[in-house]
Amino acid sequence: MPFYFQIALNVILPIFLVVGLGYALSKRFTLDLGSLSKLNFYVFIPVFMFYSLLIFKPGNREIEDTLLFNLLLACLSFLCMYGITRWLHFETDLAAASTLSVMVFNSANYGIPTIQLAFPGADETTRGQGVAIQVITITAMNVIAYTLGILVVGGWSEWKKGVVTVLKLPILYAILAAIAVRQLDLNLPDALLNPLKWTSDGMLPIALLTLGAQIGQGGVSLQKPAELWVTVVARLLLSPLLAYGLISVMGFHGLLARVLFVSSSFPTAVTTVLFGIEYNKEPTFTADVVFVTTLLSALTVTGAISLSAVIF
């Protein structure tokens, strides 16, 4: 079987089956998305990040490179979309929504399961290293969303609100706690590690079910198709091209390069819809972008994983 179809069958299909289940459940039952989101945001993802960093231990250089790469990619995406939206005469609010949709991708609910399945590791030494890199990307993406993202949709007057939000992010303290435990060389007892592992193991299915439910309840309008497809193409194709250029310039190779490249091809994050609602910046449009990019990512992310094995 060709490698592309192996990736589609073994990595992407399982993800979409669980997302589809969440979508179907949201159509059959009235799910409390607020509670599901809070479980992900305050429990499953922070515990998963803490446990992953504790077990897989990415190096300090790896952490620094991942953070810098994602910051530079967000800045490049902003500059490109600023030029594109002005060139195509997007309305101001639509330009902000489109730019944010390209800058902020789904690094957690979609990203962790994809990286976990795509880069399982050949042995105990490498197993989980791809996930550890993605964990750092989640942190970077949240900081970017609540700083640069808020500046894009809310303007400079909102920067203080963004900083306060970043300081309240539970994932930030999960990472700091993991680093502290590692630096102090502490051995946590099984009575603590086992519950952490159980909760960490639950992150993947809960995250995918939540993603499916969010898409199912968001609905699709497709009212602005031209602007929508410009944004979709930029998120799924332009972003990986920018990422490839950055990776080459920064001299990354191996697993780090592959994970960062694949991560750059992920669909738009649901967070963009929340920002659209909060700042009244085209929430229906961003919901459409989330839906379409998630749907088409079955093809583009499969291609990115296959391509990463060739070019890196």
Residues 6+ apart with CB under 8 A from 215: 19, 22, 23, 26, 290, 291, 294
Q: Which residues of the chain have pLDDT under 50?
A: 124
* Model pLDDT, residue 273: 83
> Domain limits of the chain?
3-311
Strand partners, 105: 268
What's the CA angle centered on 219, arms 217 and 222, to 5 degrees? 165
* Predicted TM-score (pTM) of this structure: 0.88
Q: Which 3 state secondary structure label does DSSP give 285?
A: helix
Q: Give me the pLDDT at residue 142, please.
A: 86
3-311 maps to CATH 1.20.1530.20: yes
Of residues 182, 204, 239, the one with CA closest to residue 60: 182
* CA angle, residues 304, 306, 309, in degrees to nearest 5: 105
Task: Write down the pLDDT at residue 67.
Answer: 93
Question: In angstroms, rounded to a whole number, what is the distance separating the alpha carbons of residues 4 and 305?
Answer: 8
* Per-residue pLDDT at 94: 95
To the nearest 5 percent, what fractions of the chain are helix, strand and coil?
A: 80, 0, 20
The per-residue pLDDT for range 92-109, each reduced to its tens digit, is 999 999 999 999 999 988
pLDDT at 165: 77
